[in-house]
Structure 1
Amino acid sequence: MKTSMAKSIQDLSSKKQLFHWTAKVSNEEAIAEEEEEDLSFNPSSSADNTDAMKEEKKEKEKEKEKEKERENEESSSSSVSARRKKLQAIAVSRLKSMIIGFGRNRGHFHGLGTRLVGTLFGHRRGHVHFAFQKDPTSHPVFLVELATPITGLVREMASGLVRIALECDKDKKAAAASRLIDHPLWTTYCNGKKCGFATRRECGAKEWEILKAVEPISMGAGVLPAGNGNGNGEEGGEIMYMRAKFERVVGSRDSEAFYMMNPDSNGAPELSIYLLRV
């Protein structure tokens, strides 16, 4: 009885050992199979990894190319904008020079301004003299004697507006003169009618004495007593004069105009003088 029980116990223990061994073997085989599966899977995963790396490199290269293209476009656009700015600056400078030149021609052409003091004077039985000054105390920049008697001009002015045109020939001698007002001889027209010639004069002692006598007068007309301008009144007695401010406008190198300014700034100027080179 005891021997049979001992034998059964040994069989049972041997069966347990066999079960443990078989379980261990089966576990080892499962692990080996998993390792084999991992080994069989690893090559494909490594290949996938290399493909992904190649794609990343390609994308990076594409991004670099795009960045280079952007940089090139930005540089080209910046160069174009810089060129445009340069051209605009040149155009603006040219426009400024043209405006400045126009202003000089209009306002200070040949050293004269747009506002001058004009004096018309002459002996009662003498000829008309025109004198233009920069200011009442300066010497005249333009002094001309007309063949028209001053009494006849006074009558014309009393009847209405007076337009006096002084024309000179555009010849070689005229072209040699640097300024239009420097021409010595002019053909005179009064309201469209030819009335002799006008001669440019230098301001002598007699003319300067008359201008000094009317220096305090800014605008007006009147008569100076005999003796002014010559000291003894031998050339026609009393001196008639008219003094006013004139606006000077330069049309071109061959045309200038002097317009008498009215105090109320209304209506057309009563007296206008035109210098023309034809």
Structure 2
Amino acid sequence: MEIQSRSPQAMSLLRHKTDKRSRTSRFFGLFSFKLLPKLTTGCKMVFMLGRPRSALFTGKFATGTLFGYRRGKVCLALQEDPTCFPMFMLELPMSTSALLKEMASGLVRIALECETRTHKKRLLEEMVWAVYCNGRKTGYSIKKKQISEEEETVMQMLRGVSMGAGVLPCQQQEKETADDELTYLRSRFERVIGSKDSEAFYMMNPDGNCGQELSIFFVRM
């Protein structure tokens, strides 16, 4: 596990302690700890991530985050690094609990397919995606043009985390139950460009090597 402290202006984010829950899911089997941010009661979260850049990903690596309430939908965010504004974010058409089950079973392959005839945009600038998980179509998603205040808060809370998995405090009082904890998985991904119409992101293990647990594929038909 690697935790990077970026800026003294960012909030004192994360203190981790051992999560004693049963590790029945590979979601927590990869990195087992629980992160508890230290927040000032009543304070408003200031969004301090960097602003969007003119180009999309330019490097060989990216930071990928999957997060969501257990009984809600799971979101996918891709950033150049944990301090940058997300360059790609969408809500997958599947619940967080369904993804946990898939990860508990072994390898997970998430494929996003875009059908377009113009091919004028960069691949990750496309808006509408058909989503497949381990070969099964789960539905359609639309890339977010703007992220919500709650999503901004999650990104800010994880600003100092480069790799890990855990549970974040609920942002809404009505969700403060064990079943509705906000879970997340963040890792570094190796970006492989096949062509202007295909890219893949392979999750890397803490030792820096590419793992086989999770891969994300983008394809334009």
Q: TM-score, normalised by structure 2?
A: 0.68
Superposed displacement of residue 265, structure 1? 5.0
Give 2:160's match in structure 1, choosing from 213, 216, 237.
Answer: 216
Q: Which has the larger radius of gyration?
A: 1
Uncovered stretches (5+) of structure 1, i.e. residues with no partner: 1-108
Backbone CA RMSD of aligned residues: 2.0
Q: Given the alignment of the two structures, is residue 169 of structure 1 paired with residue 115 of structure 2, yes or no? A: yes
**1:152 partner letter:** A
Q: Which has the higher contact order (CA 8 A, sep 6+)?
A: 2
Matches of 1:132 and 1:240, distance apart in 2: 17
Superposed displacement of residue 267, structure 1? 7.1
**1:153 partner letter:** L
Superposed displacement of residue 238, structure 1? 2.1
Task: Describe how 1:1-278 pairs up with structure 2 within 5 A.
Answer: 110-172=56-118, 175-176=119-120, 178-201=121-144, 202-227=146-171, 231-233=172-174, 237-264=180-207, 268-278=211-221
**2:166 partner letter:** G
What is the aligned length?
Answer: 164
The C-alpha deviation readout for 1:119-157, integer Å capped at 9, x for no partner, is 100112111101111111110011111111011101111
Matches of 1:250 and 1:222, distance apart in 2: 30
Contact 1:121–1:130 (CA under 8 A) maintained in structure 2: yes
Q: 1 or 2, which has the higher helix percentage?
A: 1
Query: What SS does the aligned partner of 2:212 have?
Result: coil
**Residues 187, 212 of structure 1: alpha-carbon distance in 2 compared, 3 angstrom cutoff:** same
Superposed displacement of residue 233, structure 1? 4.8
Superposed displacement of residue 234, structure 1? 5.4
Q: TM-score, normalised by structure 1?
A: 0.55
Matches of 1:112 and 1:124, distance apart in 2: 33
The C-alpha deviation readout for 1:61-117, integer Å capped at 9, x for no partner, is xxxxxxxxxxxxxxxxxxxxxxxxxxxxxxxxxxxxxxxxxxxxxxxx844211111
**2:156 partner letter:** K
Uncovered stretches (5+) of structure 2, i.e. residues with no partner: 1-54
Contact 2:73–2:96 (CA under 8 A) maintained in structure 1: yes
Superposed displacement of residue 203, structure 1? 2.4
Q: Which residue of 2 aligns with 1:46?
A: none
Query: What SS does the aligned partner of 2:151 have?
Result: helix
Matches of 1:143 and 1:110, distance apart in 2: 12
Superposed displacement of residue 269, structure 1? 2.2
Contact 1:225–1:237 (CA under 8 A) maintained in structure 2: no
Contact 2:56–2:87 (CA under 8 A) maintained in structure 1: no
**2:122 partner letter:** R
**Residues 112, 267 of structure 1: alpha-carbon distance in 2 compared, 3 angstrom cutoff:** closer
Matches of 1:150 and 1:112, distance apart in 2: 30
